[in-house]
Chains A and B, each alone.
Chain A
Amino acid sequence: MTHSIQVKDLKLDFGSVSVLKNLNLDVAEGEFIVLLGPSGCGKSTLLNCLAGLLDITDGEIWIKNKNVTWAEPSDRGIGMVFQSYALYPQMTVRGNLSFGLKNAKVPKDEIDRRIARAAEILQIQPLLDRKPAALSGGQRQRVAIGRALVRDVDVFLFDEPLSNLDAKLRAELRVEIKRLHSRLNNTMIYVTHDQIEALTLADRIAIMRGGIIQQLAAPQEIYNRPVNLFVAGFIGSPAMNFIKGAVVDNGRSIKLGEAKLDLAGYDGGQPTDRPQAILGLRPEHLTIQDHAEPGHTIPAVVELDEPMGADSLVWLMVQGQQVSVRVPFEKRPTKGAQVHLKVDISKASIFDATTELRV
């Protein structure tokens, strides 16, 4: 596997504030990596470091087996797409696309060839002689992508490119970016705080918090086996339920108040006993039924439900804690009913309450 990007022990401080802490990241060629995290987690900062727009405090950045830690942004072989499009307002679309190439002294006919190709891929040929002010949001972002495209680079950096668009356009352009990736096969690093974008686009997702990558894995892996409580709570909508309990019986069962669940089939081996554990259950992995099945169900009381179209999100009280369950709209139970929640333990996650790590 050839490396496209390698980040080694990257550190970045703003004064006394440490923004990125000993960050390591290996990206394979042609891989689509999404940096995902809440505001202020350092994801955009990391992207700016990769682009060379921020001087790092310590560490190394390699792109295409070349140490570019101190190289100029334009010499790193990257193209970048910004949230606010950042199109030069006084230039036409053609001027925007050719600006970088003129700076790099690319011959005129080569510039024309590359603009024609980018315009064809992004279907912006009719817009080439317009100014950015005369374009819609979606068209502007297409031109911004085109500006990265004409640079003929191996690595694309996207800094929340769809955040300024309305929901419908966002979904359209999301598919288009995915199509672009499968056509060009470039390495793409994509920053977002939208988990739908992350789950749909990424080959691998890097979940960040406080300047540290919490988990770097394929979307399904992150969804099914989150490494810690933070990742578990961050990914998934509606969010994962957490129920406090204790692992007992030499790791064979988990005790939730009065109820006990059998841990046979838990994805992650047999855990060891611990008095303080948290059981993580996704709303879509729970089912509501009338009868108890010892070892597989927990008793619950229906509180209220939130219809969401096809589904309904039902909120229940379990041992004094709130739990949500996703059920088909027509199967939602009546308010106040005493029911039993069937738990699919193979899809559950158990976390240690003190270390917050998955066991």
Chain B
Amino acid sequence: MADLSNPRGTRPKSRFTLNNIVLYGILGLMSIYYLLPLYVMVMTSLKDMAEIRMGNIFAPPVEVTFHPWVKAWAEACTGLNCDGLSRGFWNSVMITVPSVIISIIVASVNGYALVNWKFKGSEVFFTILIFGSFIPYQIMLYPIVIILRELGIYGTLGGLIMVHTIFGMPILTLLFRNYFSSLPEELFKAARVDGAGFWGIYFQIMLPMSMPIFVVALILQITGIWNDFLFGVVFTKPEIYPMTVQLNNIVNSVQGVKEYNVNMAATMLTGLVPLIVYFVSGKLFVRGIAAGAVKG
């Protein structure tokens, strides 16, 4: 009798099936669709104005110049300041870093408490918190301006950091709550029998098991806050505008010649941080998103 338990010989090749052709065809088209604008931006940012005026936006630069990048970073003018995007970059760093750290710390403790230390009304509290994420930002802008004014922090970095922290709360708390509730409840019980308290369990048991979800939260917050424009323009003043606002001011300035190469370079500089975050942590991100479904 023939041994049917194992396949023998080489697996039949099937590289050029209709399926594969359609699949890779669509993938290729999609990639071109998304990569083409990036290509145009990079090419344009490496040309000088004379070459741009010749009009062929798809042609690679005849003479590569990095001057637009330097100008976008250090010399472009917005209003009275002519120190380019660098000022906005450092403002954004000073806004993003504390906002990300504070919001993740608070939200992770929130999520942990909502799952493991349920108190009277904790479900109501959570519902209200989640409800907050459904209200359009525009409705809340003016009330927040008043609140910040009354607190005396309107137009300061601290005020904007507070706003970012609060607005990150609903989605982050949801994220952490769902993750923590996917961890086995018996671990928490065992730790309580072992005499660990609220913070003991959080730091020694929960934190070491939650790195994937922290990475997800980190990416969400860094890109979200870095890319924010609305809060930055409403709650701060020109000296501390974040990079996105400054980019807008450079690109949309109405005086003089439109320097497309500088604008392109400036835009890419602004998008660089989220881009790097994605590239560095892409694998971790996917793992974190999937982590909710994985059982220990």
Contact = CB atoms under 8 A, between A and B. Distances in A.
B187 A88 contact: yes
B196 interface: yes
B105 interface: no
Given A82-B186, A84-B186, A86-B187, A103 B192 contact: no
A159 B208 CA distance: 26
B200 A73 contact: no
A86 B191 CA distance: 9
A317 B193 CA distance: 54
B150 interface: no
A86 B194 contact: no
A89 B208 CA distance: 9
Interface string A75-109: 10011101111111110000000011001100000
Contacts of A147: 190, 194
A88 B189 CA distance: 11
A266 to B, nearest CB: 47
B152 interface: no
B196 A90 contact: no
A103 B196 contact: yes
Contact of B189 (A79, A82, A89): A82
A79 B190 CA distance: 9
A86 B189 CA distance: 8
A80 B205 contact: no
Contacts of A83: 186
B296 interface: yes
B201 to A, nearest CB: 10
A84 B183 CA distance: 12
Contacts of A90: 208-209
A53 interface: yes
Interface string A201-237: 0000000000000000000000000000000000000
Contacts of B189: 48, 51, 53, 73, 80, 82, 86
Contact of A84 (B184, B205, B208): B184
Interface in B195-209: 195-196, 200, 204-205, 208-209
Given A86-B184, A88-B205, A89-B296, A51 B196 contact: no
A18 interface: no
A294 to B, nearest CB: 59
A147 B189 CA distance: 13
Contacts of A89: 209, 296
Contacts of B195: 72-75, 100, 103-104
A99 B193 contact: no
Given A82-B186, A83-B186, A103-B200, A88 B191 contact: yes
Contacts of B184: 84, 86
Interface string B172-192: 000000000000101101111
Interface residues of A, number: 26
Contacts of A104: 195
Nearest to A103: B195
Given A88-B187, A89-B296, A80 B208 contact: no
Given A84-B184, A89-B209, A74 B192 contact: yes
A82 B190 contact: yes
A159 B209 CA distance: 24
Contact of A100 (B194, B208, B209): B194
A89 B207 CA distance: 12
B119 to A, nearest CB: 11
A15 to B, nearest CB: 12
Nearest to A53: B189
A73 B208 CA distance: 23
A343 to B, nearest CB: 47
Nearest to B211: A90
A285 to B, nearest CB: 41
Contacts of B208: 90
Contacts of A80: 189-190, 193
A246 to B, nearest CB: 51
Nearest to A98: B194
A346 to B, nearest CB: 46
Nearest to B187: A86
B193 A74 contact: yes
Nearest to B189: A53
A99 B204 contact: yes
A72 B189 CA distance: 12
B169 to A, nearest CB: 28
B214 to A, nearest CB: 14
Given A83-B186, A88-B187, A89-B296, A51 B193 contact: yes
A75 B195 CA distance: 8
A100 B187 contact: no
Given A53-B193, A73-B192, 6 more contacts: A75-B195, A82-B190, A86-B189, A88-B205, A99-B196, A100-B195
Interface of A: 48, 51-53, 72-75, 78-80, 82-90, 99-100, 103-104, 147, 159
13 contacts: A72-B195, A73-B189, A73-B195, A74-B196, A78-B193, A79-B193, A80-B189, A82-B186, A83-B186, A84-B186, A85-B186, A99-B204, A159-B186
Q: Ordered nearest first, which 9 A-B pairs have the shortest CB separation?
A: A74-B195, A100-B194, A103-B195, A86-B186, A86-B190, A90-B208, A82-B186, A73-B193, A73-B192
